[in-house]
């Protein structure tokens, strides 16, 4: 019976209680994000009731209304879509920048490595949140720019990780064997190196989605979100000034962010344990 490493990894993942809980939470959020807008087609910006309606007082508006009478539940459902999309797309863009940079730097070494790593180090040193603020303030906040900005400030760890992995994989003997067998550098990077560097990249990516969601909510909180889409961070930012009178308006979207990010972190940890099992060499 031959078992692929993937099936073994899935079994280890399924044994991790935290990871399974995280996966369950994330599935709920994903379903809400996918189906929510169909089930609640009305605009989250529309006034539907009297302002400051506390939660659990009106059956039609279970989570109450905000300072201008908008439905909190609708906002939450539409926000889920924005948060997940920004998280996923910006992570993908960051991977598209970081993986090639890291792979080229690690594989070719020498001046290529020097140049690319100086560049990466520069982006890693500058305070990323401040850079994101400056970029969005100058280029006007829109979903496109928000995603790009988050990708720009979050790719350096990917590049560093991939470079490190590639550097250590590069000296493995099976890479040397592949070189000797006449495969081209590109073939070797894609077929031999990257598949083996994948586990830590997947783990990092799952954590990056979480960080990107946090970053998006922080930017929206500061008023740098896309003014046309409802997001969790915006909801908290808008409710900040009425914290004393209507605390739940800040509290509820915060819990939504917390649960989503927590779920992603749990999944990331589960993936880490599942994909990088510590080689338990039994001492003889």
Partner 1 sequence: MVRFILARLVKAAFILLAILVLNFSLIHAAPGDPAAVMAGEAGATDEQFLEDLRRRFGLDQPFHVQLWIYIKGAVQLDLGYSYRRGMPVAELIWDRLPATLLLTATAFFISIIFGVIAGVAAAARQGRWSDSIISTLALLFYATPLFWVALMAALLFSVTLGWLPGFGYETVGANHTGFARALDIGRHLVLPATTLGLFFTAIYVRMTRASMLEVSRLDFVKTARAKGLSPGVIQRRHVLRNALLPVITLAGLQAGQIVGGAVLTETVFAWPGIGRLMFEAISQRDYNVLLGVFFVSAAMVLLFNLITDIVYVIVDPRIRITQ
Partner 2 sequence: MSLLSIRDLAIALPKGADRPHAIENVSFDLAEGEILCIVGESGSGKSMSANAVMGLLPEGVNPVKGSVNFEGGDILGLPERAMQAIRGRKIGMIFQEPLSALNPLMRIGAQIAEVFEAHGLLTPGERQRRALELLREVHLPDPEKAIRAYPFQLSGGQRQRVMIAMALALQPSILIADEPTTALDVTTQAQILTLIEELRQKRGMGVIFITHDFGVVADIADRVIVMEKGLIVEQGAVDDVLLRAKHPYTQKLVRAIPGITAGEKQDFEAAPVILKVRDLNKTFTTGGGWFKAPRVVHAVNKVSFDLRTGETIGIVGESGSGKSTCGRCIVRLIEPDGGSVEMGGVDMAMLKGAALRSNRKRIQMIFQDPFSSLNPRARVGRILTEGPIAHGTPRREARERARELLELVGLDASAMKRFPHEFSGGQRQRIGIARALALDPDILIADEAVSALDVSIQAQVLDLLADLKTRLNLSMLFITHDLRVAAQVCDRIMVMQHGKLVEIGPAGKVLSEPEHPYTRSLLDAIPGKAYEQALKQVVEAG
Positions touching partner 2 (CB under 8 A) are: 2-5, 172-174, 176-184, 187, 191-192, 195-196, 282-284
Q: By C-beta, is 174 or 247 nearer to partner 1?
A: 247
Task: Quote the distance between the C-alpha of residue 213 and its chain's center.
Answer: 6
Residue 144: name its binding partner from partner 2, partner 1, none (Cβ under 5 to 8 Å by kind): none
Residue 137 touches partner 1, criterion: CB under 8 A: yes
Residue 261: name its binding partner from partner 2, partner 1, none (Cβ under 5 to 8 Å by kind): partner 1
Residue 173: name its binding partner from partner 2, partner 1, none (Cβ under 5 to 8 Å by kind): partner 2
Residue 68 touches partner 1, criterion: CB under 8 A: no
Cβ burial, residue 114 (10 Å; 0-12/13-18/19+): exposed
Contact assessment for residue 78 and residue 128, using Cβ atoms and an 8 Å cutoff = no
Q: By C-beta, is 108 or 248 nearer to partner 2?
A: 108
Shortest spacing between CB 262 and partner 1, in angstroms: 4
Residue 65: name its binding partner from partner 2, partner 1, none (Cβ under 5 to 8 Å by kind): none
The footprint of partner 1 on residues 183-222 (CB under 8 A) is 210, 214, 217-218, 221-222
Nearest to 62 by CA among 70, 73, 52: 73
First to last CA, the chain: 27
Alpha-carbon span 234 to 89, nearest angstrom: 19
Tell me which residue has tokens 């603020």.
Answer: 133
Residue 142: name its binding partner from partner 1, partner 2, none (Cβ under 5 to 8 Å by kind): none
Contact assessment for residue 264 and residue 79, using Cβ atoms and an 8 Å cutoff = no
Q: By C-beta, is 3 or 278 nearer to partner 1?
A: 278
Shortest spacing between CB 187 and partner 2, in angstroms: 7
Residue 246: name its binding partner from partner 1, partner 2, none (Cβ under 5 to 8 Å by kind): none
Residue 282: name its binding partner from partner 2, partner 1, none (Cβ under 5 to 8 Å by kind): partner 2
> Please, how many CA atoms are within 13 Å of residue 16, restricted to the half-sphere of its CB?
22
The binding track of 225-264 with respect to partner 1, each residue x by CB under 8 A or -, is --------x--x---x--xx--x--xx--x--xx--xx-x
Residue 17 touches partner 1, criterion: CB under 8 A: no
Which residues sit at the interface with partner 1, rule CB under 8 A? 122, 124-131, 133-135, 137-140, 210, 214, 217-218, 221-224, 233, 236, 240, 243-244, 247, 250-251, 254, 257-258, 261-262, 264-266
């Amino acid at each position: 019976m031959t078992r692929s490493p993937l099936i073994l990894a899935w079994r280890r993942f399924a044994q991790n209680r935290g990871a399974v809980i995280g996966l369950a939470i994330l599935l709920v959020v994903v379903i809400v994000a996918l189906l929510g807008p169909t089930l609640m087609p009305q605009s989250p910006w529309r006034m539907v009731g009297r302002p400051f309606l506390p939660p659990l007082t009106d059956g039609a508006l279970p989570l109450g209304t905000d300072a201008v009478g908008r439905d909190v539940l609708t906002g939450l459902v539409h926000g889920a879509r924005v948060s997940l999309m920004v998280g996923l797309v910006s992570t993908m863009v960051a991977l598209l920048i970081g993986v090639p940079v890291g792979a080229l730097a690690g594989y070719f070494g020498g001046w290529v490595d020097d140049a690319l790593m100086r560049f990466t180090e520069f982006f890693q040193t500058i305070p990323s949140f401040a850079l994101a603020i400056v970029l969005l303030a100058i280029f006007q906040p829109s979903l496109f720019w928000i995603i790009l900005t988050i990708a720009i400030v979050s790719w350096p760890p990917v590049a560093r990780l991939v470079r490190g992995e590639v550097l250590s994989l590069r000296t493995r003997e099976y890479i040397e064997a592949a070189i000797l067998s006449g495969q081209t550098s590109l073939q070797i990077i894609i077929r031999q190196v990257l598949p083996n560097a994948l586990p830590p990249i997947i783990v990092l990516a799952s954590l990056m989605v979480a960080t990107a969601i946090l970053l998006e909510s922080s930017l929206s909180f500061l008023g740098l979100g896309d003014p046309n889409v409802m997001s969790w961070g915006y909801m908290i930012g808008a409710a900040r000034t009425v914290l004393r009178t209507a605390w739940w308006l800040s509290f509820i979207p915060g819990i939504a962010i917390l649960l989503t990010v927590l779920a992603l972190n749990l999944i990331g940890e589960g993936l880490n344990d599942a994909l990088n099992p510590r080689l338990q060499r039994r001492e003889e």
